[in-house]
Amino acid sequence: MTGQSIHANCVIVGTCGVLIRGEAGSGKSLLSETLIEAARARGHFAALVADDRVLLEADDGRLLARAPETIQGRIEVRGFALEDITYEPVARIRLVIDLKPLETLERLPDMAIDQDWLAGIFLPAIACPSHRPAIALRQLRWAMRRLLSGGPDYI
């Protein structure tokens, strides 16, 4: 796969590829595992695509994400080790999450769902607090209800 490599995580929740960006140590892996567990608890499909590095490529108006071969099926447990995990080889990104310090986020932003431009494609994006997976899960549930109206609640 050609394209750009970025510092991020990617998961699939139901049919929705979610790209999770944030600084090192911001909780990307923790949020990834939280999203996967929440979707599976509701009986929906969920899997890791990539942890820490994501390869992005535009394909016919879609943004596809993959893990570099060297880290496929592995997720970091900070301070301990890399852990093997079930993974999917590719996802179509439908939503971008940016993890940011809680104190930098607006309480009620004018645009709760913003847009970001990645590899020539506009994608919906939301800002969630780093190190707060329960809050991020709630925000993501809200965003997915608006973006996938009429679809199931995956998380």
CB contact at 8 A, 51 and 31: no
pLDDT band at 1; cut points 50, 70, 90: very low
Q: Give, for 4, the enclosing helix (H) or strand (E).
A: strand 4-13
Alpha carbon dihedral 97, 85, 12, 50, in 10-degree steps, equals: 50
Q: Which two tokens stand for residue 135?
A: 């809050």
Q: What is the pLDDT of residues 47-56, one digit of tens each?
A: 999 999 999 9
Nearest to 92, CA basis, from 17, 148, 19, 151: 17
Q: What is the pLDDT of residues 18-45, one digit of tens each?
A: 999 999 999 999 999 999 999 999 999 9
Q: Which two tokens stand for residue 37?
A: 């567990």
Which backbone phi and psi does 51 adopt, to 5 degrees? -125, 120
CB contact at 8 A, 29 and 20: no
CA contacts within 13 A on the Cβ side of 49: 27
To which residue do tokens 């090192």 refer?
A: 24
pLDDT band at 79; cut points 50, 70, 90: low
Is residue 50 domain-resident?
A: yes
* Residue range of the domain that includes 8: 4-147
pTM score above 0.85: yes
Return the amino acid letter for 60: D
Is residue 155 domain-resident?
A: no
For residues 117-138, give the mean pLDDT: 96
Is residue 154 domain-resident?
A: no
Is residue 152 domain-resident?
A: no
Q: Which residue has the higher pLDDT, 19 or 70?
A: 19
How many domains does the structure of the chain reveal?
A: 1
What is the reported pLDDT for 42?
Answer: 94
Query: Given a cut of 90, is residue 126 above it in pLDDT?
Result: yes
**CATH number for 117:** 3.40.50.300
Is residue 84 domain-resident?
A: yes
